[in-house]
Amino acid sequence: MDMRIEQISRVVENQTDAALRKTGEKIINKERIFFDEGVMLFEKAGLPYVGALANYVRERLHGNKTYFNRNFHIEPTNVCVFSCAFCSYSRLYAQRDEGWELSIGQMMDMVKKYDGKPVTEVHIVGGVHPKMNLYFFVELLQKIKAHRPDLHIKGFTAVELDYMFRKAKLSVEEGMKVLREAGLDSLPGGGAEIFDADIRTQICDDKVNADGWLDIHRTAHRLDMHSNATMLYGHIENYKHRISHMERLRSLQDETGGFNTFIPLKLRNKGNDMSYVAESSVIEDMKLYAVSRLYMDNFPHIKAYWPMLGRQSAQLTLSFGVNDLDGTIDDSTKIYSMAGSEEQHPSLSTTEIVALIKQVKREPVERDTLYNEIKNYKDMDLSLMSNSPLYN
Ligand code: SF4
């Protein structure tokens, strides 16, 4: 018997709670677990138990491989027509003097800064600006593609897209086709927050609802565009809300297979209307990642977004089901630094992200946005890397 199965079987056999043992057996046998079992894992299981199971599934799927990419972000604006309670980043249009509104030229200067550098992806998200419409972004996408056709453009949350398409009086499919034609390659996973309607009313009342979010991703998948999915946790949601959110994503993934990765996002509580909520503990964070790995059985990847979590906690997640750390970022996002993350200038060189992964005895693999492997750094010498301009 494979050593890993032997070890996890022993962990499950030694579980004294019959229901938890049964769920563990299902996971070992690659059977799907359902709503009540997901909630039970949160409520009753200890971290060592869910952690061992999640690590087993992670290694069954990916071995020691841990993915990252070389990327940068563009945040066109933080001016936003919405005012989500958890958001530390946005400014209303009336206060736009306190925020930023980048022109196409300024954003192209950011793209040109990477000329000759081996980045593979630009991630574009921002506030929902009332005057940056679909055709503004069409021009941006076209210009980026004309300048650097090989750069994968992952852009716009479903919240931004919903607003853009409605203002342009286009259906989701029509709008998505316009953006795809202009150069949009895939969608990030933001804006999902928590799908539950009651919680959504309390934390982000006026933006696209769960059905709208899912419809935008369904449409993208139908048009052969991949996307990611997120879940904002650690605020006023309970375990049932979390599992029901995952359930809806898992169902859509059954239908389309278009999601690449699931990214739990932790509430950071500085500078927003939810500062009264204590941030979740590291134990809660690790348990959430582990349960995510166990529940999202049709998502190939689980990602820890290190600018939000901090690099040490992100390293820890690699033993709790996570197999992806996002990218090098290059200090190009303010979303989590403005919310109080310890990563005030999120930037990792390739050498640094490889070192983080190697420190926890995992195998660093550079990928592109769609998880095609670009380079395996398992046997690369860190001291040689740190002296090479290629990796710094
Ligand atoms: S979370 Fe997004 S949609 Fe909500 S206020 Fe912030 S920028 Fe706007």
**19-36 pLDDT, tens digit each:** 999 999 999 999 999 999
Ligand 1 mean position, distance from CA 177 (Å): 24
Identify the residue whose C-alpha is closest to ligand 1 atom 3.
Answer: 82
Each residue of 337-370: pLDDT tens digit? Answer: 788 788 888 888 999 999 999 999 999 999 999 9
Each residue of 125-167: pLDDT tens digit? Answer: 999 999 999 999 999 999 999 999 999 999 999 999 999 999 9
**Amino acid (one-letter) located at 196:** D
pLDDT of res. 1: 54
Q: Probe ligand 1: pick from 73, 83, 88, 90, max atoms within 8 Å of CB?
A: 90
Q: Which atom of ligand 1 is nearest to the CA of 159?
A: 3
Which residues 6+ apart lie within 8 Å of 36 measured at CB?
A: none
pLDDT of res. 66: 98
Q: Is the pTM of this model over 0.85?
A: yes
- Average per-residue pLDDT for the chain: 95
Each residue of 64-91: pLDDT tens digit? Answer: 999 999 999 999 999 999 999 999 989 9
pLDDT of res. 99: 93
Ligand 1 mean position, distance from CA 53 (Å): 35
Identify the residue whose C-alpha is closest to ligand 1 atom 2.
Answer: 127
Identify the residue whose C-alpha is closest to ligand 1 atom 4.
Answer: 84
pLDDT > 80? residue 3: yes
Ligand 1 mean position, distance from CA 96 (Å): 14
Q: Probe ligand 1: pick from 81, 87, 98, max atoms within 8 Å of CB?
A: 87
Q: What residues does ligand 1 touch, defined as CB less than 6 Å away?
A: 80, 82-84, 87, 89-90, 127-128, 159, 204, 207
Ligand 1 mean position, distance from CA 338 (Å): 13
**Considering the chain, what percentage of its residues have pLDDT values greater than 70?**
99
Residue 15's alpha-carbon distances to 18, 53, 294, 384, in angstroms, are: 7, 12, 17, 46
Identify the residue whose C-alpha is closest to ligand 1 atom 1.
Answer: 87
Ligand 1 mean position, distance from CA 191 (Å): 8
